[in-house]
């Protein structure tokens, strides 16, 4: 059933498009024909005046070249009406149904006027067939019917009351009106056949054009889909290359970090010995404050090196979590106790004491909380009093949610999508691995981590853990 609907939908769209194209073509043809008749009307007006001046007196009275004012007035005044109305409609309403029917009637009356001015000569009657042939350009049989109706009305009225104007004699035979009707009817039949044939041909052209447009749209859609697939493939390749590079960096970092730990431990031991020794023999360096200053610099930089090595090893290791029942509120208290305190910043443990006990890897999740809370504290602008809150909710049967919320300076929108990428950092002394480690550890627990932030309003990190990661403590 769905396949039938899918096939029917393009067919319906094809028919609608073909009908629209055919309508546009006919509208264009009819507007162009309106403009053509505007010129024809002016030419016929000039011809009627010329015939009234040159030919009408001789045709009617058989006199020498004599101008009869009544013929000239008829040509000028009636011609102005028969030409002016169609030209005005063609100018202001081109392509309208009313315009072409008015033009058809006026064109038929032009034939009647020229026949009258010629004294009913047989040659003038051929203007009727020329008019019907021109009206067939509209591709509308109803226009021919309008013109034919006007011609038949003129035939009846003038043939009855003024036969000299139509036939050139006062007593035409009975067969003359019938002959005129038959000739007009026969010509109409031919023109209607021509109109319908031209309409069918144009309809076939419209259908072919609609099919071509539909095929182009399908090809365009396929091309766009192919481009999208190629872009995705390029993105996947870049991601794969980046993952391979990160894996290589991780292996190198683990190796370098492991090799640096022993020399760094030796340097720390030497520093500790020198600190104790200098503390005992402080009297030997009474006037040199640089000794204690440099010892402090050494201790600070050694701690920074230890932190970098620890981050590298944590990022390189892929230790699966050892899940055990772990009360969440005491774990948050431990994490808060590790984070260095900052003046004006208050850290709040908002985890309910009645919260059921989840199953977590205590060491890994404590590190997650430490990194998030420490980042939140460091995000506070200098001199700003703020608060960092750790909140949690969940139950035995449902998913768990842990949130770390601060009211600091927030994260810029251009930085937000990159904060979980390895080696990306905005800190001058950061390694760019803290949040990457957090994201990896959360993923190992089967959860997800996201962030919502607004510049100047603070940030909120949300950890979602599935229900399977939560178990009631025994």
Closest CA to 213 of 3, 15, 23, 2: 15
Contacts of 127 (CB under 8 A, 6+ apart): 110, 111, 114, 115
Residue 469: is its pLDDT beyond 50?
A: yes
Q: Which two tokens stand for residue 212?
A: 């071509």
User: Phi, psi at residue 126, to the nearest 5°?
Assistant: -65, -20
Q: What is the rounded average pLDDT of the residues 47-64?
A: 70
Q: What is the rounded average pLDDT of the residues 98-123?
A: 86
Q: Is 401 helix (H, G, I), strand (E, B) or coil?
A: strand
324 beta partners? 360
- Does this model's pTM top 0.85? My answer is no
Contacts of 61 (CB under 8 A, 6+ apart): 68
User: Each residue of 334-382: pLDDT tens digit?
Assistant: 888 888 888 878 888 888 888 888 888 888 888 888 888 888 888 788 7
Q: Which residue has the tokens 């998913």?
A: 399
Q: Which two tokens stand for residue 473?
A: 């403590």
Give percent of the chain above pLDDT 70: 73
Q: Looking at the domain that runs over 324-469, which CATH code has it been given?
A: 3.30.565.10
Residue 265: is its pLDDT beyond 70?
A: no
Residue 319: is its pLDDT beyond 70?
A: no
- The Cα–Cα gap between 465 and 453 comes to 21
Q: Is 390 helix (H, G, I), strand (E, B) or coil?
A: strand
Closest CA to 361 of 326, 385, 327: 326
User: Each residue of 174-219: pLDDT tens digit?
Assistant: 677 777 788 888 888 888 888 787 777 777 877 788 777 777 888 8
User: Phi, psi at residue 172, to the nearest 5°?
Assistant: -75, 160
Among 176-190, 251-265, 290-304, 310-324, the range scoring the smallest mean pLDDT is 251-265
Average pLDDT, the chain: 76
Domain boundaries, the chain: 1-317, 324-469
Is 327:310 a contact under the CB 8 Å cutoff? no
Give percent of the chain above pLDDT 90: 2
Q: Exposure string (b/e) for 409-441, b if CB count within 10 Å is 16 or more?
A: bbbeeeeeeebbebeebeeeebbbbbbbbbbbb
Residue 64: is its pLDDT beyond 60?
A: no
Q: Is 414 helix (H, G, I), strand (E, B) or coil?
A: coil
Is 441:364 a contact under the CB 8 Å cutoff? yes
Q: Is 460 helix (H, G, I), strand (E, B) or coil?
A: strand
| Higher local confidence (pLDDT), 205 or 88 | 88
- The Cα–Cα gap between 325 and 381 comes to 37
């Amino acid at each position: 059933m769905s396949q039938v609907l899918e096939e029917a939908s393009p067919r319906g769209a094809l028919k609608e498009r073909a009908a629209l194209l055919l309508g546009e073509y006919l509208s264009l043809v009819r507007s162009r024909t309106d403009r053509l008749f505007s010129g024809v009307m002016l030419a016929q007006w000039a011809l009627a005046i010329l015939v009234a001046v040159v030919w009408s007196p001789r045709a009617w009275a058989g006199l020498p070249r004599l101008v009869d004012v009544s013929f000239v007035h008829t040509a000028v005044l009636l011609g102005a009406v028969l030409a002016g109305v169609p030209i005005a409609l063609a100018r202001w309403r081109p392509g309208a149904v009313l315009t072409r029917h008015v033009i058809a009637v006026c064109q038929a009356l032009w034939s009647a006027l020229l026949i009258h001015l010629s004294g009913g000569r047989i040659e003038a009657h051929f203007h009727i067939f020329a008019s019907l042939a021109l009206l067939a350009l509209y591709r509308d049989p109803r226009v021919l019917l309008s013109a034919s109706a006007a011609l038949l009305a003129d035939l009846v009225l003038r043939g009855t009351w003024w036969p000299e104007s139509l036939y050139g004699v006062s007593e035409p035979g009975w067969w003359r009106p019938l002959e005129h009707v038959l000739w007009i009817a026969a010509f109409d039949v031919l023109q209607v056949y021509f109109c319908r044939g031209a309409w069918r041909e144009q309809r076939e052209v419209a259908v072919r054009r609609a099919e071509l447009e539909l095929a182009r749209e399908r090809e365009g859609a396929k091309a766009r889909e192919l481009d999208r697939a190629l872009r995705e493939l390029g993105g996947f390749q870049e991601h794969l290359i980046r993952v391979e590079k990160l894996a290589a960096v991780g292996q190198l970092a683990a190796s370098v970090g492991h090799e640096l730990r022993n020399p760094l431990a030796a340097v720390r031991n030497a520093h500790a010995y020198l600190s104790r020794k200098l503390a005992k023999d402080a009297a030997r360096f009474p006037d040199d404050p640089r000794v204690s200053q440099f010892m402090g610099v050494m201790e600070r930089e050694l701690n920074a090196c230890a932190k970098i090595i620890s981050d590298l090893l944590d990022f390189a290791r892929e230790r699966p979590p050892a899940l055990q029942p772990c009360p969440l509120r005491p774990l948050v208290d431990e994490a808060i106790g590790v984070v260095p305190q900052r003046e004006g910043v208050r850290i709040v443990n908002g985890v309910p004491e009645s919260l059921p006990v989840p199953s977590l890897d205590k060491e890994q999740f404590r590190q997650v909380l430490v990194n998030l809370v420490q980042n939140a504290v460091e995000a506070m602008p200098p001199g700003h009093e703020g608060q960092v809150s750790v909140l949690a909710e969940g139950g035995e049967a449902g998913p768990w949610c842990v949130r770390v919320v601060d009211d600091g300076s927030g994260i810029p929108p251009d930085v937000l999508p990159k904060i979980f990428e390895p080696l990306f950092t905005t800190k001058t002394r950061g390694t760019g691995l803290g949040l990457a480690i957090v994201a990896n550890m959360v993923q190992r627990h089967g959860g997800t981590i996201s962030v919502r932030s607004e510049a100047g309003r603070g940030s909120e990190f949300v950890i979602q853990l599935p229900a399977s990661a939560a178990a009631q403590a025994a």
